[in-house]
Structure 1
Amino acid sequence: MIYAIERINNSTLLPGIKLGYEIYDSCSDVSKAVQLTVKLFPELDAWNNLPSCNNTEVTPTVKAVVEETFSELSIAISRILSLHYIPQISTASSAPSLSDKLRFPSFLRTVPNDKHQTRAIAKLIRTFGWNWVGIIASDDDYGCSAAELLNAYFKEERICTAFSKTIPSYVGHPSMQKNIDNLISELKNSTANVVIVVAKGPIVIKLFQEAIRMNISRTWIATDVWSTSREVLNMKDIDKVGAVLGLMFQAKLVEGFTEYLQNLQPPPYGATNSFLEEYKNIRFGCTKDYRKFLECMDSLAKKCSPVKMKSALACKVKNVSLANDDYLVEHIEWSTPYRVSLAVAAIGQSLQNILCRNGTCIKNMNVSQVELLKEIRKVQFFLNSDPYTFDENGDFSSGYDIINWHTLLRPPVYTAVGQYNTSTSELRVDETLLFWNTKDDNIPFSDCNKPCPPGYYKKHSLISCCYECIPCPEDHFSSETDMTECTKCPGHQWSNNGSSRCENRTVEYFQRNNPFAITLMSFAAFAILLLLMIGIVFINYRDTSAIKDAGGNYSYLLIASLLLSLVDTGFFIGQPSDIICKIRQPLYGIGFTLCLSCIVIKSLNIFVAFQSTKGGNIHLKYQPAALLSGLTAFQLCLCLIWIILKSPFVKEIDTKPKVLILQCDEGSYVAFGMMLGYTGILAFTNFILAFNGKKLQNRYNEAWCIKFSMLIYLFVWTIFIPIYINTSDVYQSAVQVIAMLASIYGVIACQLLPSLYIILFKRRKIRRIRNMNNLLNLSKTRISKLSLENRNGAFSSATSQQDGRHNSFLPQDKINFRSTKQTVRRRHKSY
């Protein structure tokens, strides 16, 4: 303080004006601080000078106060000074409540608001991954507000408080020891390894003494009040309390102050400095205790109690007031003179702005305290050529240094290991410089629970930071520690309970080497060979009446469609792919629709023949090729729409652990059902048409064959639907292959094999029957001609020609004329 004032007096800042000072020691006592404040301002007699609205009735001699280290003292003093708006600048009081300008309008400070320190502490704790901490705070404004802010910021950072305890704000409190004992008991029982202490140095000493005695070691977070306290740092056995991290206000060296401390001189004539006199006597005075110590040392005694703060020059210098050494330089807290110099510089610059113009200052010192306060709030002042200002709340925006105590060194020291920027809320810590005072010197653990290992996840309890480690369920995994949830394995992988990784599943599908698949493929291959043989026979006998009776060219289409369906069964066996899934169902649907369409042509022929036997006069006015194309084209369009809108695809089914089933998903089961439904409609139509022709009297009755083949198809696919729906493993494809083979074999057995039998074994008999029918047709024609001569010839001739066209469309051996003679009919039956 004295150096900062003398520096201004010796500068050109206030030419012709000298600043004076009065310095008192409040001994950190609120009552004494208030008493000294009243002593500084005798003009502020509370009985005779009541506060007024304009605050101009009293102009005190003391223009400003640079004051206390502790917030509770600053609050008490401010309640007096604010009555008359006397500027009050604190160099260390950081309680957030002091930023309230309604309650403390004349208060300013050269340190940041404590909300920045508490936010920095929260970020510091989060940086090291701690989430379970304890708080010990003094029961004054500073401690209570800091604890409240810490809890608020802890919520933002997801940090939980294991305990939050208060302690009396001064050592002489009657319940101090009881509180210390309770705190030690809490520390013993708590799992929190990190404890924040918001209290003054003497209280911390009391706490640490008991912690050392009880062998309690923790990681302590120190606030600015005691983080640089030499008394705490130099405690006996301080290394046993654990690691200490703290925050202190950022500061710079004040120019020339080191040299000033090394050459302290008595005050000028007329001035007194009892602090300096006391220090010189303690440091260099030849006291009785120190002489005894020297005598002890001369006697070569092993145990001599040194005298604190004594210099080796003591009892050797002639003039104690002129003696100096480096003791203060080595032990001073450098942030304090920096903050004091800032306060003095702010007052000096404000006075210059008020009193001085063009290098000349008015020597009238009756400056209004209100005017000075307004100027200080907005002034830009300089220290070491660096500019500074107060914010709108009278606070300072300097940052913090993060410091770490090295208690194993002798003497113990603290070093800066990081910084906190109050403007950006950015925290930086160099972890390589940290000393943790642990066996392995690693970061201490301070969580509510131990980390959940891989294979487990955290299940939180009522306390958000506490959780239970739960094993990951089957088919889930966690690869890192402390995961909040387990990740589901990809579809092609699986895992057991409590797994940290997934294993590949065994891929299953209806494989070709499966005995069941080999059996089905054998049946399909046999059917293909059988169809090829039948096709060869049909081609060799293509000009015979038997082939024409079997359907002529449509029989070849029937065989080709069945071959297509048989080839398609191969797509249902083996590993599925998207292409295979897209083509296998439509290929079967189109192939079998073509087969059923060919049978529809034959069924219509039979139906017409049946109507003719009843004496009907039906003209079949249609083109078989056009009908066949139309029926097949409808199914083709249906399948194309299916593929375009929602086509089948490969689906991975993981319902079984360790197994991944590859299966074709039909995409749209509505379209799949419509495809099967359409073939079912065709089959049912064939059955109805053939059923109406079942009474045709012929040894080889095509209607019966069609009816039975369609009954087989309808029966097979009716059973197929529930079985297919309830089958979800690799054998779902096998179910459809069985249905396809059964339908194909039904058509072969009921449609093609009878025709093959007739061609190979009944060809001559059919030829004789056909010749006899031709003879009967010739007889009928002659009889019709005779009738025409006796009646209207034109009408009978037209009827005969019409019957000829009708009969030429059907196999001739299947037509029985009711108009023929009885003897001819009996001869026909004799074959």
Structure 2
Amino acid sequence: MTSHPPLLSLDHQHSHPHSIKIPGDITLGGLFPVHARGHAGVPCGEIKKEKGIHRLEAMMYALDQINSDPELLPNITLGARILDTCSRDTYALEQSLTFVQALIQKDTSDIRCSNGEQPIIRKPERVVGVIGASGSSVSIMVANVLRLFEIPQISYASTAPELSDNNRYDFFSRVVPPDSYQAQAMVDIVKALGWNYVSTLASEGNYGESGVDAFVQISREAGGLCIAQSLKIPREPKPGEFDKIIKRLMETPNARGVIIFAHEDDIKQVLEAAKKSNLTGQFKFVGSDSWGAKSSPILDQEEVAEGAVTILPKRASIDGFDQYFTTRSLENNRRNIWFAEFWEDDFRCKLTRPGIKIDPEKKKCTGEERISRDSHYEQEGKVQFVIDAVYAMAHALHNMHQDLCPGAMGVCDKMDPVEGRLLLSYIHSVNFNGSAGTAVLFNENGDAPGRYDIFQYQMTNTTNPGYRVIGQWTNNLRLNVEEMQWTGGSRQIPDSVCSFPCRSGERKKMVKGVPCCWHCELCDGYQFQADEFNCEMCPFDMRPTLNRTACRPTPIIKLEWHSPWAVIPLFLAILGILATLSVIITFIRFNDTPIVRAAGRELSYVLLTGIFLIYFITFLMIAEPGTVVCAFRRLLLGLGMCITYSAMLTKTNRIYRIFEQGKKSVTPPKFISPTSQLMITFILISVQVVGVFIWFGVMPPHTIVDYDEQRPPNPELARGILKCDIADLSLICCLSYSILLMVTCTVYAVKSRGVPETFNEAKPIGFTMYTTCIVWLAFVPIFFGTAQSTEKMFIQTTTLTVSMSLSASVSLGMLYIPKVYVIIFHPEQNVQKRKRSFKAVVQAATMSSRLSQKSISDKQNGETKIEPDRTQ
């Protein structure tokens, strides 16, 4: 063999230009995003100081601590092969093949050295477990390869829910909780804020899409939360893409809450686009752990980010790591092949390299710079989890060593090689206090328990802007809402709802397919809000309350004595009663005088009684309805008129029969004596009385509350009217007999209009009946044409009582007031005149007939003669 190294053994630096090799008895793999994704076909871009170097150094720090710990893996040194994933899943897959090279059997039978001998092949170290990766998409890609070779993998940052699938990713575990826990925590936060209508925004890829899918799924299962829009940010966004996203979000302006599962750069550009569109304060973001408590996504966008609620796995700053990292220098950290690059970026200087000229404008690195003293340093958030992942692997190996190699110093045969599936079982069984003092353990899917801190980015006038812890989530939410601040320092939680709660008296009409959206419809008319979704009609005797949440009794009214509608009828009735009593008293006092006797004393007293009852019915119509009052209303409403018109009809009928008989013979007609007249009158009256008592038997009198009468569209004006059970039709039936008597009387009065005035009262009765007919003809349209209103009952009652009082007054005024006037003021005229016999009546009737015939004949001949007054 020549002095050259064997064919398959290359120099370390050239063999693994993107890896760190730390020798040890047992080697662990490490995957870290030391560089960002490259552009234009270049696999790797700029160095990532925090996510890359901090995390990588955390693994090496943990290895140092474990290797120096006499209690953990004593006499066994852990080594490492650490690779750079360059934040790209395909590149990481290529690099991770290094971990399985030792497990791939290679055929070297045809390989010979230059001297013809077989080469000595140095196999790469065997990696028993891998720490990483960071991004979920990278972990998924690598996990698919590692499971083929049964190499356990513990991630410190991958949170995609699909990695919990124990069938597909059975060799994958993680010390951070999956996004399903994070999504549950975010759902709980949204509900605690009272939001039910939000949008989601995800970076394209496993992390963003899986996180949003978990959030949507959990919110759907929990109910009461709707997704307005679910938008994605492309992997390679085109110019203006973020402006379009903001425009899309504004299509549902009520969904102010935006759930965002996105990478740092995407978050920053979303905030920039919102600021550019003058929408500062419009959106309230709820960010996942990729946002966490980082300052980089909100740099120069603090106003837009104000009030953002973010979530981060519960963590602590590891003081030992701070001390370790801040003491790293170019001299004492040569094992990290990327540290020089980090140094140049951190201190913004350039190192001298053989054969490379330094740009004169660039500052030269002295090597004396110190981290934290000469540059800003803040421990990256996942450092704790990197350390816990390494320790979890170490504890599993330690327990495995104790079981397989009891009392042995170093690695025994049973652990050479380490069986991957057995190691996996030990990993799932570990339970120890991690670097932050919290328990590190795994469930059956290899997931860590969910423990999150909840932050809010706040800006106030008294403190510097920054993230403030406002709660925690450990299977359930503890949120200090009173410590939250929103735009402008407001303590009022902004709304993010599709529809605002309906007001009292309004029902929800749901929007089909969107359970969080509804329209509010007012319960109108006499409806009240029975429940959240239904309006129901109030019972007939009730009306809705002002806020329409219940029903209340409808007020019951009646005509009061002091009402203006009652004062006028009462005034007319009182005057009429006084006038009627005055006439009766006068007639009684002058009962034997000629005028009283000539008026027909018997029928006059009957007629005056009827007039009195007509006036008296006004008091019954205004009195509060009751059984007794209703009974007397029925009885007297038609009786007064019936008595009055029965007496008048008897009078006019008597006169008409006398003069008609006188034209035919000298024999007087029958039933013209006072007794006969009274009998006829009482017979006519009895018809009315019998009819009323039959009415009593068929339908006993009682009161009712009429809610139909005054039930206008506005329920506030609704009133129940307390009244007797006399319907309009019943009222007409009650008065119809009296109207029949009145019409008949009017007919006889018309027929008797030619009788000489000196012989009878036909003409005053005729004038009375004509006037009465006019009054009642005016009554009908007023009574039955009254519009539906609060005063309808009052108008009808007033119209009826006034019409009856007027008809009574006409009768009293036409028939008796002139007689009383003569009796009181002209007693000299109240003397006995020549008594007229029936013979005189016959002669008068004959003369009247002849004069009528002569008048008709003269008119037919076209002549009109005027007879001279024979009395002159």
The question of a shared fold, defined as TM-score above 0.5 by the shorter chain, is answered with yes
CA distance in 1, matches of 2:345, 2:86: 18
CA distance in 2, matches of 1:601, 1:199: 101
| Offset of residue 70 of structure 1 | 0.7
* Unmatched segments (≥5 aa) in structure 2: 1-58, 108-124, 526-542, 547-558, 592-596, 655-669, 753-758, 847-872
- Note closer, same or farther for the CA distance 1:712–1:743 as it changes in structure 2 (3 Å cut): farther
Alignment partner of 1:28 is 2:93: no
Task: Work out whether residues 202 and 232 of structure 2, in 8 Å CA contact, stay in contact via their aligned partners in 1.
Answer: yes
Task: Work out whether residues 131 and 154 of structure 2, in 8 Å CA contact, stay in contact via their aligned partners in 1.
Answer: yes
* Matched AA of 1:336: K
SS at match of 1:331: coil
Task: Work out whether residues 131 and 446 of structure 1, in 8 Å CA contact, stay in contact via their aligned partners in 2.
Answer: no
Alignment partner of 1:397 is 2:456: no
Please, which of 679, 700, 706 is the counterpart of residue 731 of structure 2? 679
Task: Work out whether residues 355 and 361 of structure 1, in 8 Å CA contact, stay in contact via their aligned partners in 2.
Answer: no
Q: 1:123-142 residue pairs with structure 2 within 5 A?
A: 137-142=202-207
* Matched AA of 1:723: G
Q: Give the share of equivalent positions with the same residue, in percent.
A: 17
Task: Work out whether residues 609 and 640 of structure 2, in 8 Å CA contact, stay in contact via their aligned partners in 1.
Answer: no
* Matched AA of 1:330: Y
| Offset of residue 20 of structure 1 | 4.8
Alignment partner of 1:373 is 2:424: yes
| Offset of residue 745 of structure 1 | 1.3
Task: Work out whether residues 350 and 363 of structure 2, in 8 Å CA contact, stay in contact via their aligned partners in 1.
Answer: no
CA distance in 1, matches of 2:842, 2:293: 134
- Note closer, same or farther for the CA distance 1:621–1:140 as it changes in structure 2 (3 Å cut): closer
Q: 1:342-421 residue pairs with structure 2 within 5 A?
A: 342-348=388-394, 350=396, 356=402, 364-365=414-415, 368-374=419-425, 376-377=427-428, 380-383=431-434, 384-391=436-443, 393-395=445-447, 396-404=449-457, 414-419=466-471, 421=473
Alignment partner of 1:737 is 2:798: yes
Please, which of 157, 163, 166 is the counterpart of residue 233 of structure 2? 166
Task: Work out whether residues 305 and 457 of structure 2, in 8 Å CA contact, stay in contact via their aligned partners in 1.
Answer: no
Give the aligned partner of residue 612 of structure 2. Answer: 559
| Offset of residue 199 of structure 1 | 4.5
Please, which of 802, 810, 822 is the counterpart of residue 749 of structure 1? 810
| Offset of residue 680 of structure 1 | 1.8
User: How many pairs align?
Assistant: 666
Task: Work out whether residues 600 and 685 of structure 1, in 8 Å CA contact, stay in contact via their aligned partners in 2.
Answer: yes
Give the aligned partner of residue 530 of structure 1. Answer: 576
CA distance in 2, matches of 1:392, 1:380: 13
| Offset of residue 250 of structure 1 | 2.6
- Note closer, same or farther for the CA distance 1:197–1:100 as it changes in structure 2 (3 Å cut): same
CA distance in 2, matches of 1:736, 1:27: 99
Give the aligned partner of residue 208 of structure 2. Answer: 143
Alignment partner of 1:594 is 2:636: yes
| Offset of residue 77 of structure 1 | 1.0
SS at match of 1:415: strand
Query: 1:489-524 CA distances to partner (integer Å, 9 max, x unpaired)?
Result: x9999xxxxxxxxxxxxxxxx99999xx79x95575
* Matched AA of 1:369: G
SS at match of 2:316: coil
* Matched AA of 2:738: N
* Matched AA of 1:80: V
CA distance in 2, matches of 1:257, 1:716: 109
Q: 1:362-761 residue pairs with structure 2 within 5 A?
A: 364-365=414-415, 368-374=419-425, 376-377=427-428, 380-383=431-434, 384-391=436-443, 393-395=445-447, 396-404=449-457, 414-419=466-471, 421=473, 423-424=475-476, 428=480, 525-539=571-585, 541=587, 548-550=602-604, 559=612, 562-565=615-618, 591=633, 593-600=635-642, 613=671, 630=693, 637-640=700-703, 642-643=704-705, 646=706, 666=721, 674-688=726-740, 699=760, 715-724=777-786, 726=787, 728=789, 733-734=794-795, 737-750=798-811, 754=815
- Note closer, same or farther for the CA distance 1:741–1:201 as it changes in structure 2 (3 Å cut): closer
CA distance in 1, matches of 2:93, 2:779: 104
Task: Work out whether residues 573 and 615 of structure 2, in 8 Å CA contact, stay in contact via their aligned partners in 1.
Answer: no
Q: 1:320-359 residue pairs with structure 2 within 5 A?
A: 330-333=377-380, 335-348=381-394, 350=396, 356=402
CA distance in 2, matches of 1:261, 1:604: 127
Give the aligned partner of residue 783 of structure 1. Answer: none
| Offset of residue 397 of structure 1 | 1.2
CA distance in 2, matches of 1:667, 1:391: 77
Give the aligned partner of residue 107 of structure 1. Answer: 172
| Offset of residue 361 of structure 1 | 7.4
Alignment partner of 1:248 is 2:290: no
Give the aligned partner of residue 801 of structure 1. Answer: none
Task: Work out whether residues 611 and 644 of structure 2, in 8 Å CA contact, stay in contact via their aligned partners in 1.
Answer: no
CA distance in 2, matches of 1:748, 1:85: 121
- Note closer, same or farther for the CA distance 1:623–1:607 as it changes in structure 2 (3 Å cut): same
Query: 1:190-237 CA distances to partner (integer Å, 9 max, x unpaired)?
Result: 86899877544466678899999999989795543355556667x7x6
Task: Work out whether residues 603 and 703 of structure 1, in 8 Å CA contact, stay in contact via their aligned partners in 2.
Answer: no
CA distance in 2, matches of 1:129, 1:287: 54
Please, which of 216, 227, 238 is the counterpart of residue 179 of structure 1? 238
SS at match of 1:65: strand
Task: Work out whether residues 242 and 273 of structure 2, in 8 Å CA contact, stay in contact via their aligned partners in 1.
Answer: no
CA distance in 2, matches of 1:685, 1:216: 85
CA distance in 2, matches of 1:66, 1:408: 44
Give the aligned partner of residue 111 of structure 2. Answer: none
Please, which of 40, 60, 81 is the counterpart of residue 99 of structure 2? 40
SS at match of 1:89: strand
Give the aligned partner of residue 486 of structure 1. Answer: none
CA distance in 1, matches of 2:275, 2:609: 105
CA distance in 1, matches of 2:278, 2:739: 99
* Matched AA of 2:781: I
CA distance in 1, matches of 2:269, 2:809: 105
CA distance in 2, matches of 1:82, 1:550: 127
| Offset of residue 26 of structure 1 | 1.9
Please state which structure has a larger fraction of its residues in helix. 1
| Offset of residue 67 of structure 1 | 0.5
CA RMSD in angstroms, aligned pairs only: 7.0
* Matched AA of 1:530: G
CA distance in 2, matches of 1:206, 1:663: 63
CA distance in 1, matches of 2:692, 2:198: 84
CA distance in 2, matches of 1:557, 1:259: 122
CA distance in 1, matches of 2:275, 2:842: 131
Please, which of 96, 121, 127 is the counterpart of residue 161 of structure 2? 96
* Matched AA of 2:733: I
Task: Work out whether residues 593 and 635 of structure 1, in 8 Å CA contact, stay in contact via their aligned partners in 2.
Answer: no
* Matched AA of 2:97: V
Task: Work out whether residues 610 and 644 of structure 2, in 8 Å CA contact, stay in contact via their aligned partners in 1.
Answer: no
- Note closer, same or farther for the CA distance 1:721–1:549 as it changes in structure 2 (3 Å cut): closer
Alignment partner of 1:83 is 2:135: no
Q: Which moved further from structure 2: 209-218 or 710-719?
A: 209-218
SS at match of 2:82: coil
